[in-house]
Chains A and B, each alone.
Chain A
Amino acid sequence: MNKLSRRRVLRGMLNGSAIAIALPLLDCFLDDNGTALASGAPMPLRFGTWSWGLGMSEALFVPKKTGANYDLPPEIAPLQPIQRHINLFTNYRVFKDAAPNLCHHTGWVILRTGIAPLTAINRPGETLDVTVARKIGNATRFRNLSATATGDVRDSFSYENGNTLNTPEFSPIRFYHRLFGEDFQNPNAPEFKPDPHVMVRKSVLSGVLEESKSLNKALGSDDRARMDQYFTGLRDLERRMDLQLVKPAPIESCRAPPSPEDLPAGLDADLVSKRHRILTDLMLMAVACDQTRVFNMYYAGAFSATTQPGYDKPHHTATHEEAVVVEEKCQPHVSWYTRRAMEEWAYYVQALGRIKEGAGTMLDNVLIYAMTDQSFAKVHAIEGIPMFTAGTAGGRIKTGLHVDGGGSQGTRLGLTALRLMGVDLTSWGTQSNTTSREISDILV
């Protein structure tokens, strides 16, 4: 293979060489475990995130009992059908240290990155899904999929760096076409024929990559970093085109869905729910079809503006302007919003459970990490932000538990998730959020 570059190999293919020629070893085959999807092979491990906005009413959300078979207070009563598939984590803390408490920002940024942001527009580090995607997201068509039920393309808890948000899909139709449109290769199709157009596209991309290397020389350091990111992306895209030239292994659970209806803009809770469910079904089927192994669903998040028909305060406004009704131990409308969020969390987990994989379901092969941005949003509290997991991560964790963190770092759950996904870390987080302690209560 001396001097046989991948580009030359592809050129050879374009000029009529046999398609069966072995490509030089690609990075995408180096870093994944259990990737073979042929019959009988282990299913790949996947990582997902889910988010809701504006926390909880503690008295109605946090169970009195810990461990298994915990009680389900009213705000999490909708979780009864999924209780055995999830874990609930309460009484964990995030630490802002010398940074200010940035409303609706500090909490989620720490839980997703382990780092306290310094300003309301500061996004330090990278979110944990990005770290995981670098580890397990290289052998699929998409490295990292994001979607939001809010309809706003800026609503995302996933970013590569401070300047690069992983933009979520919000239109069911667009999401469908991206996932199951022309470029989708059905792994169960009876015949496979490498698309020569893909070879052409890949060759052209290789050319762009080579052509533009000189650009970097003229750039300052910040711009050079952005251009490096572009080239990394281009190389990644090139590798993913290789995947389209190889026959995918059949996957029993993969069924390309029909095209969904598109939905209007709006944040009416019913509409958000409908959008969330359509996007969830599309996303999870893409996971079942092994189009991606890392995926983020944003039901709602910071400054959630979901509305309740006929009520004049959107969710965020209500958290601040609605009085706590002492007898009810909550702000009734705010609690209504939280319950709607939990109904959607239940839907999401049930959707995972509906997808059969081998002798079980997709829940057996995923770890879903779910969190919110505040604990008691009325006063922007970040102590005790509740979190969940769903799935057993290939039998590596137990489920059905309520774990009281005893005031320890919330980043422990992020560290646990990262390690479960194979990321080799001795610790995660910075300053007071640094932790090297997994949450052993859930580990098998």
Chain B
Amino acid sequence: MVCTLLLVAGCSSGTSDPKNSTSPLRMRLMSAQQYSTTLAFVFGTDVSDSVPSALPPLTRTDGMLELGAASIGVTSDQLQQLSQSAAAVAAKVVDEKHRDYLIPCKPAAKDAADPACARRFVQSTGRLLYRRRLRPDEITRWVNEAGAAATRLKDFYAGLAGVIEGMLVSPEVIFIVEHSEADPRRPGHQRLDAYSLASRLSFFLWNAAPDDELLQSAENGEIQTAQGRARVVDRMLASSRLENGVRAFFDDLLEFDKFNSLAKDSVAYPTITGATLADAREQTLRTVVDHLLTRNLDYRDLFTTHATFISMNLAAIYGIPAVPGWTPYEFPAETHRGGMLTQVSFLAAHAHPARSSATLRGKALRELLLCQKVPAPPPNVDFSLLEDPDSSLHTARERLQVHAKNPSCAGCHLIMDPMGLALEKFDGAGQFRETEKGAAIDTGGNLDGAPFSDVDGLNRALHDHPMLPTCLVKRVYSYGTGGPVSMGADRNVLAYLMQRFAQAGYKYPDLLRDIALSSAFSQIREPRAVAPDGTSPSPPPQVTALNLP
């Protein structure tokens, strides 16, 4: 752990942006959420919510689903579903309820082609969906498609629906294909072109495609100047859309996709319903947004704060009075409900359907929050000591002692179980308990040298753990640049970002801003292909130990 920390934090003593740092050009598939949010921004939520997104689920890569977007492919059957979904969206957009405000003009006749009106629609909507201004030949092609279809179907709006459907399955829409250009500030090197930079910023901060103003910043070149980019990023950070981005990131980081299929044993936990679990996910996301954005507090305090939000469904689980809707709530200190680890979302997602799991919780803490990898168990492990627990063993701690005695288990379980055992006063559904099978629960332990006697102590130890903010920096940076980090090529920028994060008091919006404005965010490593002028790609910039001014 110490060496990893040094690797990230100890190799740069300055706080200047390492000017030669770079990130790879990537081609990412939009996530289902990004697709849906983009549709919501372009056409409204009543359109986007009416159609389930048909994009395939991403594969978790280096801790994040979003990082899998840079390698996933699409099958023909998935495209077929996407096409069906696009047709449904298109029908909604042009129906009588929506056409008057989603289409910027009225046709001369509803039952015939109207190239002028179609052109206006194609130009404006196409720009938002393609995340760039369409070329004249593209506009002409779409207008012709709309015209041919309108003539065939004797319906101007049906013609436009065909165009919308086509755009929504276009590879340039569903894939975020980044392009580079020569970087005038670094002769011989590449940077993201303006539209690609706008998209990278937008999916990073808003989890959706750029809006009109951001595209304008790309079109007028503002985004490629230092001052202009800072203004653009500050506007994005001040936008209400930022909440989408924060929610998406933490939903991914915390593996909340588990909730899509999570359920608890109805005999063991009869009061835990699907609605309860959905609210548990929402509770944590509300807590995160309130803590990090609304109140702009220290990220580490998320693991100790007693401030949260409660719904009717959750009140019963937490044993507090129920109030309709979502309301702010402050847990009393003595309830041991401080921080995200003690919320139902973490406790229930990392447990079995009918019982808690100290091992799963400890593993999640290590892997999700500290970026540490717990090795998979050996295939031929001898489980005989775990079998048929002696009825005198009441608690998880007693049962898990077996792992400590077994050399093939001990190595990994000793880094997971002690943390998870500190959470054993919460059952598999996250409900508080003082005892297990009548026996007192010992929640003491040690997190990488920091001893604790109960879950409050674990929370403090986690709060003070040097890997907690380091891990977040790594995850946010990789999420923003769209793929796994390279500890060789990215060490300088990660060190810089980590120092800035610490100096700013671990404020999340500041971290987002530093990443968005970093040189590495826009400067490109290993150009993908020959430049449009046919010249050979520039050699990748040399990453040196320190590139400080």
**Chain A residues with a Cβ under 8 A of chain B:** 11, 14-16, 100-103, 120-121, 142-145, 150-154, 160-161, 163-167, 170, 174, 178, 183, 196-197, 199-201, 203-205, 207-208, 211-212, 215, 217-220, 222-223, 225-227, 229-234, 236-237, 240, 264-268, 305, 307, 309-314, 317, 320-324, 378-380
Q: What's the minimum C-beta distance from B356 to chain A, rounded to whole angstroms? A: 10
Q: How many Å from the CB of B431 to the closest CB on chain A?
A: 15
A204 to chain B, nearest CB (A): 4
CB pair A211–B170 under 8 Å, yes or no, is yes
Q: Are B148 and A322 in contact (CB under 8 A)?
A: no
Enumerate 18 A-B pairs (CB-CB under 8 Å) in ascending A order: A142-B77, A143-B75, A163-B59, A183-B84, A196-B153, A199-B152, A200-B148, A201-B162, A204-B162, A207-B166, A218-B177, A219-B177, A226-B74, A230-B79, A307-B265, A321-B383, A321-B387, A323-B387
**Docked pose: A231 CA to B388 CA in angstroms:** 55
Hey, which chain A residues are within 8 Å of B138, CB to CB? 211
Q: In the complex where A150-B261, A204-B166, A310-B267 touch, is A229 in contact with B73 (Cβ < 8 A)?
A: yes
- Asked if B80 contacts A200 (CB within 8 A), the reply is no
10 new A-B pairs (CB below 8 Å) besides A166-B75, A233-B75, A268-B265? A143-B76, A196-B152, A215-B171, A222-B71, A226-B74, A229-B73, A230-B73, A310-B354, A312-B265, A379-B383
Nearest neighbor of B262 in chain A, beta-carbon distance: A265
Q: Per a CB cutoff under 8 Å, which of B59, B72, B354, B529 touches A217?
A: B529
Q: Tally of A-B residue pairs with Cβ under 8 A?
A: 213
Q: In the complex, which of the residues B74, B142, B165 contacts A201, with contact meaning CB atoms closer than 8 Å?
A: B165
B341-395 residues at the A interface, CB under 8 angstroms: 352-355, 376-377, 379-381, 383-384, 386-388
Report chain B residues within 8 Å CB of A220: 25, 528-529
Is A215 touching B177 in the complex (CB atoms < 8 A)? Answer: yes
Q: Does A178 contact B81, Cβ atoms closer than 8 Å? A: yes
Question: Contact between B148 and A203 (Cβ–Cβ < 8 Å)?
Answer: yes
| Contact status B388-A309, CB under 8 Å | no
Q: Is the CB of A208 within 8 A of B170?
A: yes
Give chain B nearest CB distance to A334 CB in angstroms: 12
Asked if B165 and A207 make an inter-chain contact with CB atoms under 8 angstroms apart, the answer reads no
- Shortest beta-carbon distance from A227 to chain B in Å: 6
Residue numbers in B under 8 Å from A204 (CB-CB): 145, 149, 162-163, 165-166
- Determine the distance from Cα of A11 to Cα of B141 in the docked complex, in whole angstroms: 13
Known A264-B274, A312-B352: A237·B79 in contact at CB below 8 Å: yes
Q: Are A174 and B52 in contact (CB under 8 A)?
A: yes
User: Residues 253-291 of chain B: 1 if any A CB is under 8 Å from the residue's CB, otherwise 0?
Assistant: 000000011110111100000100000000000000000
A211 and B141 contact, CB distance less than 8 A: yes
Our pick among B87, B260, B267 for the contact of A265 (Cβ within 8 Å) is B260
> Which chain B residues border A212 with CB–CB below 8 Å?
170-172
CB contacts (< 8 Å) of A234 on chain B: these are 76, 79, 169
B444 located at the interface, meaning its Cβ lies under 8 Å from any Cβ of chain A in the complex: no
Q: Say yes or no: is B107 at the interface (Cβ < 8 Å to chain A).
A: no
Contacting A145 at CB < 8 Å: which of B25, B77, B262, B352? Answer: B77
Known: A212-B171, A233-B79, A321-B386. A103 touches B377 (CB 8 A): yes
A240 contacts which chain B residues (CB < 8 A)?
Answer: 76, 80
Bound-state Cα–Cα, A227 to B170, Å: 11
Proximity bits, B134-167, A CB within 8 Å = 1, else 0:
0000100110010011011100001100110110
Question: B83 on the interface (CB 8 Å rule)?
Answer: yes
Check B152–A265 contact: CB distance below 8 A: no
Among B141, B172, B265, B380, the one with the most A-chain Cβ atoms within 10 Å of its Cβ is: B265
B327 within 8 A of A: no
Q: Let me know if A267 and B151 touch, CB within 8 A.
A: no
Query: Provided the pairs A200-B152, A204-B149, A323-B388 are in contact, do residues A164 and B175 lie with their beta carbons within 8 angstroms?
Result: no
- Chain A residue at minimum C-beta to C-beta distance from B532: A218
**Is A142 touching B528 in the complex (CB atoms < 8 A)?**
no
- Indicate if the CB atoms of B267 and A309 lie closer than 8 Å: yes
Contacts of B355 in A (CB 8 A): 312
CB distance from B362 to the nearest CB of A (A): 16
Is residue B56 within 8 Å, beta carbon to beta carbon, of the partner chain? yes
Interface size (B, Cβ < 8 Å)?
A: 67
Assess whether B14 is interfacial by the CB under 8 Å rule: no
B505 proximal to A (CB < 8 A): no
* Bound-state Cα–Cα, A201 to B164, Å: 10
Which of these, A153, A163, A267, A320, contacts B57 with CB under 8 Å? A153
- Which A residues are in CB contact (< 8 Å) with B175? 226-227, 230
- From known contacts A14-B152, A142-B80, A218-B179, infer whether A307 and B27 are also in contact, taking CB-CB under 8 Å: no
Instruction: List 6 A-B pairs, minimum CB-CB distance, nearest first.
Output: A266-B263, A323-B387, A233-B76, A204-B166, A323-B388, A236-B76
Q: Which residues of A contact B77 (CB under 8 A)?
A: 142-145, 166
Residue B78 lies at the interface, judged by CB distance under 8 Å to chain A: yes
Chain A residues with CB under 8 Å of B267's CB are 309-310
A205 and B169 contacting across the interface, CB-CB below 8 Å: yes
Report how far A373 CA is from B241 CA in the complex, Å.
44
Tell whether, in the assembled complex, residue B169 and residue A164 are in contact, meaning their CB atoms are under 8 Å apart.
no
Contact B149 A203 (CB under 8 A): yes
Are B263 and A312 within 8 A (Cβ)? Answer: no
| B260 x A232 contact (CB < 8 A) | no
Whether A265 and B274, one on each chain, are in contact in the complex, defined by CB atoms closer than 8 angstroms, is yes
Nearest CB in chain A to that of B73: its residue: A164
Shortest distance in angstroms between A128's beta carbon and chain B's nearest beta carbon? 16
State how many angstroms separate the Cβ of B408 from the closest Cβ of chain A.
12
Residue of B nearest to A148 (CB): B261
Given contacts A201-B165, A322-B388, contact A267 B79 (CB under 8 A): no
Contact of B27 among A223, A311, A320 (CB under 8 A): A223
Q: Which of B74, B145, B267, B274 has the most C-beta atoms of chain A within 10 angstroms of its own C-beta? A: B74
Bound complex: CA A200 to CA B154 (Å): 12
Given A312-B268, A320-B383: A218 and B158 interface contact (C-beta under 8 Å): no
B43-58 contact mask (Cβ, 8 Å, vs A): 1 or 0: 0000000001000110
What's the nearest-Cβ distance from chain B to residue A183, in Å?
A: 7
CA distance A153 to B170 in the complex (A): 24
Residues A201 and B73 in contact, CB atoms below 8 Å apart: no
- Give Cα distance in the complex from A335 to B65, angstroms: 35
* Residues on the B chain within 8 Å of A16, using CB: 152
- A306 nearest CB neighbor, chain B only: B353
Q: How far is the CA of A161 from the CA of B354 in the complex (A)?
A: 36
User: In the complex, what's the smallest C-beta–C-beta distance from B256 to chain A, in angstroms?
Assistant: 14
Distance (whole angstroms) from the CB of A386 to the closest CB of chain B: 19
Q: Is the CB of B153 within 8 A of A167?
A: no
Q: Which residue of B lies closest to A324 (CB)?
A: B387
Q: Shortest distance in angstroms between B535's beta carbon and chain A's nearest beta carbon?
A: 14
Give the residue of A15, A153, A174 whose beta carbon is less than 8 angstroms from that of B152.
A15
Complex: A11 Cα to B145 Cα, angstroms: 10
A44 to B45, CA, bound (A): 44
Report the Cα distance A309→B352, complex, angstroms. 13
Query: Measured between alpha carbons, how far is A217 from B179 in the docked complex, in Å?
Result: 11
The smallest C-beta distance from A298 to any residue of chain B, in angstroms, reads 13
The listed residue (A14, A232, A314) touching B149 by CB distance below 8 A is A14
Instruction: Tell me which residues across on chain B come within 8 A of A167, comparing CB atoms.
Output: 56-57, 78
Residues of A within 8 Å of B376, CB to CB, are 102-103, 120
CA gap between A172 and B471 in the complex, in Å: 40
Residues B158 and A197 in contact, CB atoms below 8 Å apart = yes
Residues of chain B within 8 A (CB-CB) of A313 are: 352, 354
Residues in A neighbouring B529, C-beta threshold 8 A: 217-220
B59, B148, B166, B260: the one contacting A15 at CB < 8 Å is B148
